Amino acid sequence: MRLLFLVLFILFGTQAQGATLKEGKLFEKALKEGACSLNYFKELSRGELKEPFLNLFVWDCLEKRNYKLLSLAKEVKNPYSKVEVARALKELGKEEEALEILKEVFKSTNRLDEEITLIAGKRVKELFTPEILRVKAWRAAKNRQIDQALFYLDYLKEDPLITYLLAYTFLRAGKRETAKELFKESKNPSSYYFLVFISKSLPEKVFWYQKLLSQKGKERLKERATVYLLDYLFRRDFGLFRLALRETGKAGLTKLYLYYRDRYRVYTQGCKAEVANRAPQKWWKRACKGKGELPKGINFYSLLLNPPKSFPFNLKEGKKELKLKDEGLKYLYKKGYCQILSLIDKKTPQTALLMYLCGEYRKGIIFGAPFKNRLNKYPYLLFVLYPKPPIFKGDLISLAIARQESLFHKRALSRSGAIGLMQIMPKTGREIAIRLKEKNYKTERLFEPELNYRFGSYYIHKLLKRFKLFPLAAAAYNCGPLRVKRALKTFGKIKGKEDLILFTDVYLPFAETREYVKRTLVNLYYYSNLYGNGTEWKTFLKP
């Protein structure tokens, strides 16, 4: 049962705050002796270890079949635990309370449908509301669980959103033409967003883009479609690009309009182009003419045009403070409960440090991110935000890449199929396996951290040898070496840092790649100062 408790936590997480020493000891006692006790409930269900305790309480009470106590844990957040609370409530004759909990969980996840429907019994139809089924169908389609999505949609035949949801489901199934026709039939304005992406004809893409811009609201969809379409047309048809750009301006998407307008101007006119006095265009001016405002802080532009004279953080103080101060967490950590502690979900500097100490680097970064602007107060977060998992040893280049690719998540799997720590595509993995003469290679082995690191390290260092400059190698890692080669052929030789700025922002084909280059360079700056001699990031910027 303890193992089951841990598995459930891994699937859905939990939430806890830093604990006092008293709470830490009491939690350990409940873990060892069994948490299903009214006294433990009174002491821990409102304290800082509330959520992990409630999960432990639920599963211990379930094992003991103590439904009366189990039903007290209504505030538990873990879906598996919530279902058991609903089961207990039904056993106690409180069907309405049980049904409300079942509806909540049924809507939030597709993993527990069988359990939920069994508990609901004769009232199962009350779960199958259009509001809930739309969410479940969308989630299933998004995860490419097509049969499951169609099952839910079968209950929505008369729903006004059925055509739109079917279109999305077929799109995720790879049936683009069928999806396209259904999106055209749909009366949902969001259909125009998808039609911009899946239409093959350039004029048709622009037509659907105009349709999308004419709708009220949908600002996020409009922005995403704008970035995609303007990048796409920029590479293929300047006439249609200018047309779409005018539509962007008319729609009030000012920031994107000015960026792509100025990108086009610099691409066609060079450094004599007039651009807006806003980031990043004002730094293009500086790169072109050597005059104007210098970028500040630590970012891609400042590292190239106005690098810090020295690392602005206190590393000695940071290393000194790499110890837990929260007494409850420290007690439980020293007792070796990392497997449970690593599942805490509360974002504080101390829980971020805890994740780091437990080897949960991805969670450490996520938990520490809200405090990145307070590194002077929490200098130890430097090491949490830029960790060095032992597998990477002194490979700063691969660290900078892996942090951006997966935040060191060993089981990462992207929408495009990239796998593992360094997000290697299956095709790339097969090619590298041949070059490295890896025996018994199978794609699923890319989930093995050591192999994934070896393959990713080989690939990025190979790209670095080919393109010489780290930002170019990073760009090739993200969008492919052929695209970077084509962009360089158009731009010409990169002679200095200024050229690197203009090449990155104006000539690299995708917004994702441009952002990737900027972030990985910042990563390398931090890693070279934390674990190197502070100059490694500069080495790869020499012309």
Quote the longest CA-to-CA distance of the chain.
78
| CA-to-CA separations, 487 to 275, 502, 504, in angstroms, rounded | 22, 12, 10
Cβ atoms within 10 Å, residue 13: 14
In CATH terms, the fold of domain 2-127 is 1.25.40
| CA-to-CA separations, 478 to 415, 472, 483, 501, in angstroms, rounded | 14, 10, 10, 17
In CATH terms, the fold of domain 141-289 is 1.25.40
| CA-to-CA separations, 428 to 196, 412, 458, 460, 469, in angstroms, rounded | 29, 16, 11, 12, 22
Q: How would you write the pLDDT of the chain (543 residues) with one tens digit per residue?
A: 444 444 444 444 444 455 789 999 999 999 999 999 999 999 988 876 788 889 899 999 999 999 999 999 999 989 999 999 999 999 999 999 999 999 999 999 999 999 999 999 999 999 999 999 999 999 999 999 999 999 999 999 999 999 999 999 999 999 999 999 999 999 999 999 999 999 999 999 999 999 999 999 999 999 999 999 999 999 999 999 999 999 999 999 999 999 999 999 999 999 999 999 999 999 999 999 888 889 999 999 999 999 999 999 999 999 999 999 999 989 999 999 888 788 787 899 999 999 999 999 999 999 999 999 999 999 999 999 999 999 999 999 999 999 999 999 999 988 888 999 999 999 999 999 999 999 999 999 999 999 999 999 999 999 999 999 999 999 999 999 999 999 999 999 999 999 999 999 999 999 999 999 999 999 999 999 999 999 999 876 654
Cβ contacts of residue 231 below 8 Å, gap of 6+? Answer: 509, 510, 511
pLDDT at 20: 87
Overall size of the chain counted in residues: 543
- Give the 3-state secondary structure of residue 419: strand
pLDDT at 540: 62
Give ranges for CATH 1.10.530.10 in the chain: 392-539
DSSP characters for 104-165? HHHHH-STTHHHHHHHHGGGGGGG--HHHHHHHHHHHHHTT-HHHHHHHHGGGTT-TTHHHH
Distance of CA 513 to the CA centre of its chain: 16
DSSP state of 335: T
Contacts by residues 27-32 (CB-CB < 8 Å, ≥ 24 positions apart):
27/52, 27/53, 27/328, 27/332, 28/331, 28/332, 28/335, 28/337, 30/56, 30/57, 31/56, 31/337, 31/340
Alpha-carbon span 467 to 163, nearest angstrom: 48
Q: What are phi and psi of 424, to 5 degrees?
A: -95, 130
pLDDT at 45: 87
Angle between helices 162-172 and 130-142 (to 10 degrees): 20
Alpha-carbon span 526 to 403, nearest angstrom: 11
Hey, what are 268's tokens?
């066609």
DSSP characters for 477-535? HHH-HHHHHHHHHHH----SHHHHHHIIIIISS-HHHHHHHHHHHHHHHHHHHHHS-S-
- Give the 3-state secondary structure of residue 229: helix
- Give the 3-state secondary structure of residue 74: coil
pLDDT at 16: 40
Closest CA to 376 of 320, 319, 312: 312
CB 14 within 8 A of CB 321: no
Alpha-carbon span 503 to 513, nearest angstrom: 12
Alpha-carbon span 69 to 36, nearest angstrom: 7
| CATH number of this structure's domain 392-539, picked from the four choices 1.10.530.10, 3.30.70.100, 3.40.50.2300, 1.10.3720.10 | 1.10.530.10
pLDDT at 13: 44
Contacts by residues 40-43 (CB-CB < 8 Å, ≥ 24 positions apart):
41/69, 41/72, 41/73
pLDDT at 165: 98
Give ranges for CATH 1.25.40 in the chain: 2-127, 141-289
Cβ atoms within 10 Å, residue 31: 19
* 3-state DSSP helix/strand/coil % of the chain, to nearest 5: 70, 0, 30
- Give the 3-state secondary structure of residue 469: coil
| CA-to-CA separations, 401 to 28, 170, 366, 521, 539, in angstroms, rounded | 39, 34, 17, 9, 17
Alpha-carbon span 493 to 514, nearest angstrom: 18
DSSP characters for 256-310? HHHHHHHHHHHHHHGGG----SSTTHHHHHHHHHS-SPPP-SSSHHHHHHS--SS
DSSP state of 505: I
Closest CA to 170 of 187, 190, 152, 147: 147
Alpha-carbon span 298 to 445, nearest angstrom: 37
CB 163 within 8 A of CB 186: yes
